[in-house]
Structure 1
């Protein structure tokens, strides 16, 4: 190991429960994620600037041929990218991050992060109806995961660092640190923890400050001061929430329709997405790209109702096609545009004295909250965009109503869960099972044991394992006995007691003394890789085993006893 690598490991190696260490790592992640996002934003702006001029998102100024052909060209480039990229590196986006958190111990490969960087540039630069949030989460989480793996963090901390990367990327991309923190905890980690807040906040504010120093002011959405005119407008707020909730349900149905489209070829599906988007853009060019210019215009009440209705319908189809056909990009920006159009329509039609721009802002938050089941992150977005706490009451009213309509009225799951289910992955949503699925056996493992291989010859077995007396003198508490293809767990005191009780003048061999002690209920299960606590409990529920042997990185094999696993649920022993 090189001196620099050893120094870095030592710098970030400390007690696993050290809050200060996690905060420092959060700051490092914020700087690195900020640098990655600044590079991505600069390259994306360069591409959009060559196409649309200084306005970047002004796809409306393109000719008819470019409106139709640009998304198709983007699809062709994506097909080529997929063709020359290993299949293992092609899984990307927010859905992939969540899948790796629950089923991959939070380990995100570098190749997938690099693929996401290039694929997102192509998708966003060619006008596909996707956003930069999914790629931002993938890239920020990838950076954080690589740092955690490099410094040998346990799986639970690796998971927390992925949350830091998510918050840093969202904060850097949109200059919204509070929304980044809540998005990371509500959507990605799906939990709020006292230990998690400090590192994630540190990561978000570091990324926002660092990216701001590199790019200057880079807010994508224009902050606007909007507030409720009168509490008499509450019925209008409730109607807006119901309307946006129905739009969210319709969008969910359309996404599932395209997901189930009877074409398996990735190339054909990408071309179909490009063709649908290009065809709609001939008549409604506002649907191309993330649509931030349209969002800002709607918030400023610059678009008529009929145009908003037309954009809403076309954007619903184009975005559902992009998501359903697998265009690599984010889902949140299109959701915000759908919500702002739906809210703007409601603001122009419902009675009351509040500005239509307020309803557009509330619709944006309600759509995001309803589709992702993330009401707090959605409300935080309103707070950071409205620059006024007065917008909190109407925001909570509309977001709550839309969530109730979508989640309970029509029983729609989160869009992320729908996309994972399509891939054959089911996230645990029950609180206890989810908590167990997010922690790993390696976090309970210890190394106070000696492995004795009874099948090894005397020449292959270590000398200290040939002498029973020498073996007993070893400081370890446990003996792991290998016999043929089975492993057994034995307390060293049991061996010592059997040795002392042996009355024969001829001392027994190690095999002769140990073999009678190996009972079926002392068997260990040796796993080929780390497993979640939920998996561990399922195994011991079915198998009468004493515990697990699991590989733990450079540390080798770790031992998790059945008693320690059960004790974890019944004692105050910390997980970190």
Structure 2
């Protein structure tokens, strides 16, 4: 990190740092940075796919059989080489890693992980693995936002908000769907809606979309379609479609877990197995290779025979579960969209009704995304932005409701991202109060007006609010009223009670961790490491912050 750049950005955002305007400005800056990174990523990826498939970038179906079989295996070999050349600390990537850094890493995403995700995603997507670009997109955008926030010296709670900005900007830049990007960021990544968060996240999404459109022109991956419900008599059929897709979403999660728990320890063996499964399935159903946007667009515009859709559905289900469960570094959103399109298309062909089967395919896409990621509003926004018609909203709500009810309440399944974190032994906080406490840090409350005293030298003449005494290995909080010139060692030691003792922290701590730490401790508070040294957070300050109106915001 360049110190001059660091200081410049910090000065730009130092004044009124807690206000909304600096956050919006950072959102705009994040939108610009994320857009440039996403355009670079798309330029390289499209060049790779174009060299293989020509103008139709995802036309893996036209390749010879040995390419269809060999590409995923070749991609696995390249990924194995990449993993062996890269430090282990840089290899954790994807949407699950973004959520992990939000809750356990103070919103800090290392630059090395961003670089690894960039290269690994290009290999996985360019070799036809059954993964999507959305997971890598989210990490790239969130990682850039984290770097911007760290350069600007933002506290952890604002870094967390900037990760949401980066997510919305990246999705908006890559897919030209700013509304879906905003809702996805708040629903899946931040897992909350707040008035403070909306403005900077919307600013980031708008900036990224406008800049990308201005430099690249129209670049929507999914082509808009004009579809609407023909008759309200089709609503029972839509409910059945939602339940059918909820069942498939539950099956998909079970398959992912099955591959995760497969007794194959070697990463190289797991990646080769994923490549082999994808390649063999592609010999029978080549449409499963890659993200599948060409198949999605074809199904929504012209329709495909339901038997072909069913065969794609079965093969894609296995290939995607294998890729995600065995550790191919790609996203899961595009494959779930394709699974939903195929499942909805099958339902539209078999369930009696007067609406276009392509409508069922469109709604199935939203329902599958919603059921797997627990993102109903983002899924419905995707339908709105693709159908260009508000008339598709009602049927989308019906199908999404049915899928979510069955998946979440029928099978009691969390989102796939939370499942992935649980497999790693990391449990995200989802209770609203605990979540709020886990998102704020002691360093944001730290009082810097303190003086440390060794208890032997002359009593400092200071106006500081707190005097910190180090006695043996412990630190104590004393006040001016307790001290006087000429105080003896015996008198001083009578003041050093457990109620005055401070916990000295080696790292910053969330408010949730701090409250848990204080439960069995009668101490006065914490000495917290901050950017300019150490700060003090007393027990009374923590209580006031939690009980005053607006204290958490």
Place the TM-score, normalised by the shorter chain, in its bin: over 0.9
Between the aligned partners of 1:195 and 1:14, the Cα distance in structure 2 is 18
User: Is residue 2:508 matched to residue 1:530?
Assistant: yes
User: Is residue 2:379 matched to residue 1:355?
Assistant: no
Between the aligned partners of 1:100 and 1:442, the Cα distance in structure 2 is 17
Is the Cα–Cα contact under 8 Å of residues 443 and 575 in structure 1 kept in the other structure?
Answer: no
The one-character-per-residue Cα deviations of 1:350-395 (angstroms, maximum 9, x if unpaired) are 1111101100000000000000111000000000000000000000
Question: In structure 1, what is the equivalent of residue 480 of structure 2?
Answer: 492
* Mapping for residues 499-514 of structure 1, pairs under 5 Å: 499=485, 507-508=486-487, 511=489, 513-514=491-492
User: Is residue 2:499 matched to residue 1:556?
Assistant: no
Task: Give structure 1 stretches of 5+ with no counterpart.
Answer: 459-465, 500-506
Between the aligned partners of 1:46 and 1:522, the Cα distance in structure 2 is 64
Between the aligned partners of 1:276 and 1:222, the Cα distance in structure 2 is 30
Runs of 4+ aligned structure 1 residues displaced above 3 Å come to 1-5, 573-576
Report the CA distance shift for 1:441/1:63 in structure 2 as closer, same or farther (over 3 A).
same
Task: Give structure 2 stretches of 5+ with no counterpart.
Answer: none
Between the aligned partners of 1:14 and 1:158, the Cα distance in structure 2 is 17
Question: In structure 1, what is the equivalent of residue 333 of structure 2?
Answer: 332
* Mapping for residues 44-55 of structure 1, pairs under 5 Å: 44-55=45-56
Q: How far apart are residue 564 of structure 1 and its match?
A: 1.3
* Mapping for residues 137-286 of structure 1, pairs under 5 Å: 137-286=138-287
Q: Aligned to 2:168, what secondary structure does the other structure show? A: helix
The one-character-per-residue Cα deviations of 1:180-202 (angstroms, maximum 9, x if unpaired) are 00000000000000000000000
User: Is residue 2:324 matched to residue 1:323?
Assistant: yes
Q: TM-score, normalised by structure 2?
A: 0.98
Question: In structure 1, what is the equivalent of residue 314 of structure 2?
Answer: 313
Report the CA distance shift for 1:84/1:444 in structure 2 as closer, same or farther (over 3 A).
same
* Mapping for residues 51-200 of structure 1, pairs under 5 Å: 51-200=52-201
Q: How far apart are residue 303 of structure 1 and its match?
A: 0.9
User: Is residue 2:458 matched to residue 1:467?
Assistant: yes
Q: Aligned to 1:276, what secondary structure does the other structure show? A: helix
Is the Cα–Cα contact under 8 Å of residues 436 and 552 in structure 2 kept in the other structure?
Answer: no
Is the Cα–Cα contact under 8 Å of residues 103 and 438 in structure 2 kept in the other structure?
Answer: yes
User: Is residue 2:4 matched to residue 1:17?
Assistant: no
Match of 1:547 among 525, 543, 547: 525
Q: How large is the RMSD of aligned CA atoms in angstroms?
A: 1.2
The one-character-per-residue Cα deviations of 1:314-362 (angstroms, maximum 9, x if unpaired) are 0000000000001001010000000000000011111111101100000
Q: How far apart are residue 453 of structure 1 and its match?
A: 2.6
Question: In structure 2, what is the equivalent of residue 503 of structure 1?
Answer: none
Is the Cα–Cα contact under 8 Å of residues 6 and 152 in structure 2 kept in the other structure?
Answer: no
**Which stretch has the larger CA shift, 137-146 or 443-452?**
443-452
The one-character-per-residue Cα deviations of 1:130-166 (angstroms, maximum 9, x if unpaired) are 0000111101011110111111101110100010000
Q: How far apart are residue 573 of structure 1 and its match?
A: 4.5
Aligned positions, number:
552
Q: How far apart are residue 513 of structure 1 and its match?
A: 5.0
Between the aligned partners of 1:372 and 1:119, the Cα distance in structure 2 is 23
The one-character-per-residue Cα deviations of 1:165-218 (angstroms, maximum 9, x if unpaired) are 000001001000000000000000000000000000000010011111121111
Is the Cα–Cα contact under 8 Å of residues 140 and 165 in structure 1 kept in the other structure?
Answer: yes
Between the aligned partners of 2:512 and 2:166, the Cα distance in structure 1 is 26
* Mapping for residues 294-443 of structure 1, pairs under 5 Å: 294-443=295-444
Q: Aligned to 1:419, what secondary structure does the other structure show? A: helix
Between the aligned partners of 1:75 and 1:88, the Cα distance in structure 2 is 20
Q: How far apart are residue 550 of structure 1 and its match?
A: 1.1
Q: How far apart are residue 55 of structure 1 and its match?
A: 0.1
Between the aligned partners of 2:500 and 2:293, the Cα distance in structure 1 is 63
Between the aligned partners of 1:277 and 1:562, the Cα distance in structure 2 is 56
Q: How far apart are residue 552 of structure 1 and its match?
A: 1.1
Is the Cα–Cα contact under 8 Å of residues 167 and 204 in structure 1 kept in the other structure?
Answer: yes
Q: How far apart are residue 516 of structure 1 and its match?
A: 2.6
Question: In structure 2, what is the equivalent of residue 477 of structure 1?
Answer: 465
The one-character-per-residue Cα deviations of 1:442-493 (angstroms, maximum 9, x if unpaired) are 1111112111134xxx7xxxxxxx322xx2x311111111111111111222
Between the aligned partners of 1:558 and 1:2, the Cα distance in structure 2 is 23
Question: In structure 1, what is the equivalent of residue 43 of structure 2?
Answer: 42
Q: How far apart are residue 568 of structure 1 and its match?
A: 1.8
The one-character-per-residue Cα deviations of 1:499-533 (angstroms, maximum 9, x if unpaired) are 5xxxxxxx346x55533311122111111101111
Question: In structure 2, what is the equivalent of residue 287 of structure 1?
Answer: 288
Between the aligned partners of 2:385 and 2:495, the Cα distance in structure 1 is 67
Larger radius of gyration: 1
Is the Cα–Cα contact under 8 Å of residues 301 and 356 in structure 1 kept in the other structure?
Answer: no
Between the aligned partners of 2:135 and 2:110, the Cα distance in structure 1 is 16
Between the aligned partners of 1:268 and 1:3, the Cα distance in structure 2 is 46
Between the aligned partners of 1:251 and 1:131, the Cα distance in structure 2 is 15
The one-character-per-residue Cα deviations of 1:62-117 (angstroms, maximum 9, x if unpaired) are 10000000000000000000000000000001000000000000000000000000
Q: How far apart are residue 4 of structure 1 and its match?
A: 4.8
Between the aligned partners of 1:310 and 1:48, the Cα distance in structure 2 is 24
